[in-house]
Homo-oligomer: A and B are copies of this chain.
Amino acid sequence: MSAIELRGLTKVYPGGVKALDSLDLAIPDGEFFALLGPSGCGKTTLLRTIAGLETATGGAVVIGDRDVTGLQPGARDIAMVFQDYALFPHMNVTDNIAYPLRIKKVGKAARQQKAAEVGARLGLEQLMDRRPGQLSGGQQQRVALARVMATQAQAFLFDEPLSNLDARLRLEARTFLKKLQHELGVTTVFVTHDQAEALAMADRMAVMESGHIRQIGTPAEVFQRPANTFVAGFIGSTPMNLLDGVVRGDTLEVSGCKLAVPQSAEGLLHDGEKIVYGVRPEYNVYSAGPVDGSLGGNVSIVENLGASYLVTLDVNGVLVQAVVPEGHEPLIGDEGYALPRRDRALIYRDGELVPA
């Protein structure tokens, strides 16, 4: 169990793709850290560079208090779960779990016992003799976890371990994984491109974009105060409304409507300047009749979210979304008004949150 620190880490692939650009990051001991970002932003590369599967072009990787930058993956004392689990198809569950111990030259009896122990902990007792091909996705995932646990490594690295599961299994697995990490207390870096997963599981998280980290913080910080429009658009199960606007005195003009300046930006705006007004659909209060300071338009789409509805309004040609509790959902074509919560709405200037 150790902290992980990256100092000015750079990775340039042969061919010139700069996948990591002088990246600094410190993950304290025992933290569950999620890495989030769109496809191709360098998440996998970051993880693989920590693991030593890619050699860093520049910078250093420190695990615990060892600089491991030049070490072979096997010498770094970390464990990794791959997206496809990489369970050896020709070995049964016991052998798969015991494989790291076999490499460490643990005797056969000892390693089989350890495998049985870890397997039992993850509820795999009945499956120890099966091959991976005979397991369901969720079971495979647990075997991959068991194999990682058997190593007693300093840190765990997970590369989208849940994305191969179906939606239902994924939910179960994430609860399970979170609990397990909590119990073991091993520093964990978790890569995902599913923001809901990151929000639900992480102690802290980072949002990446093309080799850079755009924001680091707790899920709540990142969700409520995205530091820039990139993060704002990326986080949230429904994307944030990001609307172009102009400051007109103490109010804002956003697609033809007059809105109040959000609390967080009060006193920080100049008359006439162009800003982006951000509000999450969850923080848009919907009403069927006109309300002061709201965005009014016609309903163009209504989507069922389960216990609530996502309503899309066409506000003078700009689409604005609001979440409406069940029982209050409008029909398509109805008139509707979305009133942003002043305490939750945000202002972005040149793409950056005001105040930074």
Chain A residues within CB distance 8 Å of chain B: 38-39, 137, 166-168, 171, 174-175, 178-179, 193-196, 199-201, 219-220, 223-224, 234-239, 280, 282-283, 300-301, 303-308, 310, 312, 323, 326
Contact = CB atoms under 8 A, between A and B. Distances in A.
Given A166-B38, A303-B201, A312 B196 contact: no
Contacts of A223: 304, 306-307
A-B residue pairs, 5 tightest by C-beta: A282-B307, A200-B303, A199-B304, A219-B304, A167-B194
A166 B39 contact: yes
The winner among A171, A220, A235, A306 for most chain B CB atoms within 10 A is A306
Given A167-B193, A167-B194, A196-B305, 4 more contacts: A166-B193, A179-B300, A223-B304, A223-B306
A236 to B, nearest CB: 5
Contacts of A193: 166-168
A301 B182 CA distance: 10
B326 A307 contact: no
Contacts of A175: 301, 303, 312
A241 to B, nearest CB: 13
Contact of A178 (B137, B166, B224, B303): B303
Contacts of A307: 223, 280, 282-283, 323
B237 A178 contact: no
A323 B300 CA distance: 28
Nearest to A205: B304
Contact of A168 (B38, B200, B282): B38
Nearest to A325: B282
Point out which of A178, A196, A307 has the most chain B C-beta atoms below 10 A from its C-beta.
A307
Contact of A326 (B220, B304, B306): B220
A239 B168 CA distance: 8
9 contacts: A39-B166, A167-B193, A167-B195, A168-B239, A224-B326, A237-B306, A280-B306, A280-B307, A282-B306
A179 B300 CA distance: 9
A220 B174 CA distance: 26
